[in-house]
């Protein structure tokens, strides 16, 4: 659960502040009194960005610090993201998950800058001014900041960093094409080895795959639809499907849920991805990019 939660949380880090709706405050952590932030007023003169290099750090990423206070407040925000009654992970798990997400966020932001993307102090102020114009006053934004453990300096820092990270994330996921190599397949699914062996014996004796697929799966006929590499839950099934020519079927493939015999119905070098499949490939592309960046980055975790 924690892995899925933090994966979604990283996306929030890249998105929430870049397009935050200050009129919908979060839920403060129970028992914590957040600092009173300065009310941000619209101005033609951008306020200076905070200088995190002068602050204690939770970690250093390629020499750039993640301010300790930013990390600590993100821990509070992460805790508050759990619904009432939802079990919180252990404190060390929370801290590790949040720190890893912040490292990923900073890696994305650093690459955005290297690629030439800029989000200046003036841009930060313009975003804040737009929020204030939308809200009509600074009180709603102040309330949101108060509820979410931000002061003025950290809000500006986080807004800049999340915007940079979101830009780089979009470059990565937009590189996933709308159409890729895919197969359309169906299966004969049996819950027991004996049932699968009977089906395979029938196929080898000339029985129709279509008839058997409907017999074993009356609701769907064993239809798996079109899918790309890297999409199915069970890699062995996917590997078998991509090794077959249309009309061919596999042997018995055992997974944790049962026994499968796969037949490929169609194949295309560039079939349009479904929304779900493209999102899955984009998520994988982002994870692979971050893993590669981490492998070559200089990351020093200051926290014990």
Task: Tell me the helix, strand and coil percentages in the chain, rounded to 5.
Answer: 50, 15, 35
Does 140 lie in the same domain as 32?
A: yes
Are residues 217 and 167 part of one domain? no
Residue where a domain terminates, one of 157, 174, 191: 174
* 129 and 224 fall within a common domain: no
- Domain shared by 8 and 140, yes or no: yes
One domain, residues 189 and 166: no
Residue 304: pLDDT band with limits 50, 70, 90: low
Question: What is the pLDDT, as a whole number, of residue 54?
Answer: 61
What is the model's pLDDT at position 210?
96
Q: Which of 10-19, 50-59, 161-170, 203-212 has the lowest mean pLDDT?
A: 10-19
Domain boundary residue, one of 148, 174, 200 = 174
Using alpha carbons, select from 197, 210, 191 the residue that is nearest to residue 257: 191
Spatial distance between the Cα atoms of 110 and 101, rounded to a whole number of angstroms: 14
**152 lies in the same domain as 254:** no
Q: Which pLDDT score, from 0 to 100, does residue 3 have?
A: 47
For the chain, the average pLDDT equals: 86
CATH code for the domain of 255: 3.10.50.40
pLDDT of residue 27: 34
Same domain as 249, residue 107: no
Please tell me whether residues 67 and 137 are part of one structural domain: yes
- Give the tens place of pLDDT for each residue, 212-236: 999 999 999 999 999 999 999 999 9
Q: Is residue 223 part of a domain?
A: yes
Question: Which of 20-34, 35-49, 56-70 tops mean pLDDT?
Answer: 56-70
Q: pLDDT at position 28, please?
A: 31
Domain assignment present for residue 42? The answer is: yes
Q: Where are the beta strands (DSSP E) in 26-98?
A: 57-61, 64-67
Q: Do 116 and 130 belong together in one domain?
A: yes
Q: What is the CATH number of the domain that holds 49?
A: 1.10.4030
Please tell me whether residues 152 and 75 are part of one structural domain: yes
pLDDT value at 153 more than 90: yes
- For residue range 17-38, what is the model confidence (pLDDT) as tens digits? 544 433 333 333 333 233 333 3
Judge if 234 and 263 occupy the same domain: yes
Q: Is residue 284 part of a domain?
A: no
**95-97-100 Cα angle (round to 5):** 105
Same-domain status, 59 and 144: yes
Residue 291 maps to a domain:
no
The Cα 7–Cα 1 span in angstroms is 10
Domain that holds residue 260: 180-272
Q: Are 58 and 66 in contact (CB under 8 A)?
A: yes
Is residue 194 in some structural domain? yes
pLDDT class of 135 with cuts at 50, 70, 90 = confident
**Nearby residues of 95 by Cβ (< 8 Å), 6 or more positions away:** 75, 303
> Does some domain include residue 21?
yes
Helix (H, G, I), strand (E, B) or coil at 221: coil
**pLDDT (tens digit per residue) in 91-132:** 999 999 999 999 999 999 999 999 999 999 999 999 999 988
50 within a domain of the structure (yes/no): yes
145 falls within a domain: yes
pLDDT over 90 for what percent of the chain?
Answer: 75
Q: What is the pLDDT of residue 20?
A: 44
| Mean pLDDT, rounded, for 147-152 | 93
Count of helices and strands (H, E) across the chain: 10, 7
State both tokens at 95: 């801290």
Torsion of CA 191, 195, 200, 201, to 10 degrees: 170
How many domains in the chain? 2
15 or 170, which is more confident?
170
Q: 184 — phi, psi (to 5°)?
A: -110, 125
**Where does a domain end: 174, 189, 205?**
174
């Amino acid at each position: 659960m924690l892995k899925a939660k933090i994966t979604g949380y990283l996306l929030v880090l890249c998105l929430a502040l870049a397009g935050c709706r200050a009129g919908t405050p979060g839920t403060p952590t129970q028992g914590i009194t957040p600092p009173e932030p300065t009310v941000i007023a619209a101005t033609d003169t951008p306020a200076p960005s905070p200088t995190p290099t002068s602050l204690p750090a939770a970690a250093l990423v390629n020499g750039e610090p993640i301010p300790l206070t930013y990390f600590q407040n993100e821990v509070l925000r992460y805790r508050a993201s759990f619904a009432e009654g939802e079990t919180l992970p252990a404190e060390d798990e929370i801290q590790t998950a949040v720190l890893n997400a912040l490292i990923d966020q900073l890696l994305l932001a650093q690459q955005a800058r290297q690629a030439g993307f800029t989000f200046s102090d003036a841009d930060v102020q313009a975003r804040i001014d737009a929020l204030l114009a939308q809200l009509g006053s600074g009180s709603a934004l102040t309330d949101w900041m108060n509820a979410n453990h931000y002061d003025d300096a950290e809000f500006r820092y986080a807004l800049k960093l999340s915007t940079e990270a979101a830009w780089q994330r979009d470059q990565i996921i937009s590189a996933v094409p709308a159409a890729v190599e895919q197969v359309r397949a169906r299966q004969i699914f049996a819950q027991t080895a004996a049932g699968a062996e009977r089906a395979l014996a029938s196929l080898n004796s000339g029985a129709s795959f279509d008839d058997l697929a409907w017999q074993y799966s009356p609701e769907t006929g064993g239809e798996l639809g079109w899918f790309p590499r890297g999409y199915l839950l069970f890699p062995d099934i996917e590997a078998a499907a991509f090794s077959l020519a249309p009309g061919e079927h596999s042997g018995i493939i055992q997974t944790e849920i049962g026994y499968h015999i796969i037949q490929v119905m169609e194949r295309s070098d560039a079939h349009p991805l479904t929304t779900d499949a493209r999102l899955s490939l984009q998520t994988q592309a982002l994870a692979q990019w971050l893993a590669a960046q981490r492998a070559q980055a200089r990351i020093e975790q200051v926290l014990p």
